[in-house]
Structure formats: structure tokens, C-alpha cells
């Protein structure tokens, strides 16, 4: 049995514009579980578009507390509730995620209380068991192992890469991170490595378009994300089966095409390569089957 990685949103950063991809969310289907990793804007629609009911998500993991990774978490959980969720679902994320959830519940109290009284729904809050994500083993259950590695994403300290192993299937998601050689050890031999990536030339073009940021944004992007060529270096050192790119910066700039990404990646990586697109489905196993969106 193979596992699947579904890229729901592949753009880096919180803003969307006409023609852009959506912020970060991924579905991992492994060992009979459907696991959501990050819940950026558009996640609820994107999950449904894959034929997965919102009530069919078994576990939610949030890699770090940049909004492009959890802005739609509250709306997703609320919508799963109105879609008929009755069993508890674990939500594992960095310290602080519980505060977001409490704040979301408070902001929607009028609606939630109304639906309890007027529609006879079950209480919403107890449906989601929030737990703190820390480095090490996150889950080891029925043959499925999930491990977390603290990555390098300053100024955020609680930011993680995730590895999923079940039998012969393994999937690694880098999360948002600067180049870190330790990622190669964490991803060693994985079927699929999904790694964030930026084109340094494209960052300058993006900053030139910005109307509400200053030089601090340039510093932030360059010190906390991974140049595309270094992503190829990691994949080669790890000996992964397939490499896929996500959290791409820039996104939606016609001056930077797939050819630019491929040119950078091919400096160090000669294996199977997928330039991420929203809705792309990757499968573990030798064939590396891919279903385009």
C-alpha cells in the first residue's frame, strides 16, 4: 500500500493576488489515516476539492505560528463541526495555538451558542484535543510514526519539520526553514521530500512590488528560507526518492517560470522533481506516480 502527499497550497507567505497559488496546507494519507499539515487560507475548500470530507480528517498538525500556516484553522474546525463531525480530532501545534483556538471560539461565541441552542448541535470546543508540538516523536501508533525536527526559521523558535513513516512508506515535510544540513539526516531515504524553496533573484522582484514592508522583510525572507539550489543539495545528501517544492517565493510572478526553479534545483539534484502546484498529488513507491491538478 502506498502513501499519498497532496499539495493543497504551495505559495510562500500570507498574501494572495489574482493568479497566485494558495498559502500552505498539505494532506498526508498514510497507514489508513488522513492527516492535515498546516491550515493556511483556502484549506477547507482545498480539502473538499480532493474528495475528502472535512469530517474525514484524523489528525491536524501545525508546523509553526506564521499566519500562512494556520489562518484558516478556526474556520476549518468550525466548518467540520457544521459538516457533522462528532468524534474528537487531535490538533498538535506549537505553544500558543491553544490561545488562538480560545480566541477564535470567543470571537464566534454568538454563532456557536446559537447553533447549540437553535440546532441542537454537540458542543464545539471538546471536539478538538489540542496538544503541544515539540521535537522528537509526535506519534507512534499502529505502525505509524510521526517525528518532528526543530528547523531554522528565525525569529520563530517553535518551528518544525515533520517525518511520517509507515512500513516502507515515508514522507518528509521541511516546514519553513533556512538551509540546514541536518535536514538531510532527518529526511534520509524518504520516498518523498517536500521542501520549501525560494529564488533569491525573485525575492528582490517581490520586494520591489511591496507597498507596506521595509528592509526588514528582505532580511526576514533571506535568513529564514532556503535558496532553491540548497534544496537540491539537501535532497541529494538525503538520497530521497522524489523531491517536491512548496512554499515557493516568489509565486505568481510571470518573470519567474518553472524553468528558473528547475535550473537552480538541477545544480545538485538529478532525481525525480516536482515543482509544486495547488492540487498536485504525489504517491510513494518506485513509480512515483503523480496526478496533476
Binding site for Zn ion (CB under 5 A): 66, 68, 176
Q: Looking at beta carbons only, is 176 or 191 nearer to Zn ion?
A: 176
Q: Examine the residue annotation and report whether 68 is marked as an active-site residue of this protein.
A: yes
* Of the candidates 81, 73, 5, the residue with the CA atom closest to the CA atom of residue 40: 73
In the bound complex, what is the minimum distance in angstroms from residue 69's beta carbon to Zn ion?
Answer: 6
Tell me how far, at minimum, the Cβ of 221 lies from Zn ion, in Å: 10
Q: 273 Cβ partners below 8 Å, 6+ apart?
A: 242, 243, 244, 245, 262, 265, 266
Considering only CA atoms, give the Rg of the chain: 19
Q: Find the catalytic residue in 38, 49, 58, 68.
A: 68
Are the C-beta atoms of 39 and 26 separated by less than 8 Å? no
- Closest CB 246 distance from Zn ion, rounded Å: 10
Q: Residue 68 or 251: which CB sits closer to Zn ion?
A: 68
Give whichever of 158 and 176 is closer to Zn ion, judged by the CB atom. Answer: 176
Beta-carbon contacts of 60 under 8 Å, excluding residues fewer than 6 positions away, are 35, 36, 39, 73, 89, 90, 91, 92, 93
Contact at 8 Å (CB) between 26 and 5? yes
Our CB check for Zn ion shows the closer of 68 and 278 to be 68
**Min CB(190)–Zn ion separation in Å:** 21
Query: Contact at 8 Å (CB) between 245 and 274?
Result: yes
DSSP state at residue 114 = H
Q: Which three cell numbers stand for residue 165?
A: 513513516
Which sequence positions are flagged as catalytic? 68
Amino acid at each position: 500500500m502506498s502513501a499519498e502527499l497532496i499539495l493543497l497550497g504551495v505559495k510562500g507567505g500570507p498574501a494572495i493576488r489574482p493568479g497566485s497559488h494558495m498559502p500552505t496546507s498539505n494532506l498526508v494519507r498514510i497507514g489508513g489515516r488522513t492527516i492535515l499539515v498546516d491550515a493556511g487560507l483556502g484549506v477547507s475548500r482545498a480539502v473538499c476539492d480532493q474528495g475528502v470530507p472535512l469530517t474525514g480528517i484524523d489528525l491536524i498538525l501545525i508546523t509553526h505560528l506564521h499566519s500562512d500556516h494556520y489562518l484558516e484553522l478556526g474556520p476549518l474546525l468550525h466548518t467540520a463541526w457544521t459538516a457533522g463531525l462528532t468524534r474528537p480530532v487531535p490538533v498538535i501545534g506549537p505553544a500558543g495555538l491553544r490561545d488562538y483556538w480560545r480566541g477564535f471560539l470567543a470571537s464566534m461565541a454568538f454563532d456557536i451558542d446559537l447553533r447549540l441552542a437553535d440546532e441542537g448541535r454537540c458542543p464545539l470546543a471538546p471536539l478538538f484535543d489540542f496538544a503541544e508540538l515539540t521535537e522528537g516523536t509526535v506519534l507512534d501508533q499502529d505502525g505509524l510514526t510521526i517525528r518532528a525536527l526543530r528547523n531554522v526559521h528565525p525569529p520563530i523558535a517553535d518551528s518544525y519539520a515533520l517525518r511520517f513513516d509507515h512500513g516502507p512508506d515515508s514522507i518528509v515535510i521541511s516546514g519553513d526553514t533556512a538551509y540546514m544540513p541536518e535536514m538531510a539526516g532527518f529526511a534520509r531515504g524518504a520516498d518523498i521530500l517536500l521542501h520549501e524553496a525560494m529564488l533569491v533573484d525573485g525575492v528582490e522582484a517581490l520586494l520591489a512590488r511591496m507597498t507596506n514592508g521595509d528592509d526588514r522583510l528582505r532580511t526576514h525572507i533571506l535568513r529564514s528560507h532556503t535558496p532553491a539550489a540548497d534544496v537540491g543539495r539537501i535532497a541529494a545528501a538525503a538520497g530521497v526518492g522524489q523531491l517536491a517544492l512548496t512554499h515557493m517565493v516568489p509565486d505568481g510572478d510571470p518573470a519567474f517560470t518553472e524553468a528558473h526553479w528547475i535550473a537552480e534545483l538541477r545544480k545538485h539534484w538529478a532525481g525525480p522533481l516536482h515543482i509544486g502546484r495547488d492540487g498536485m498529488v504525489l504517491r510513494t513507491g518506485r513509480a512515483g506516480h503523480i496526478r496533476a491538478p
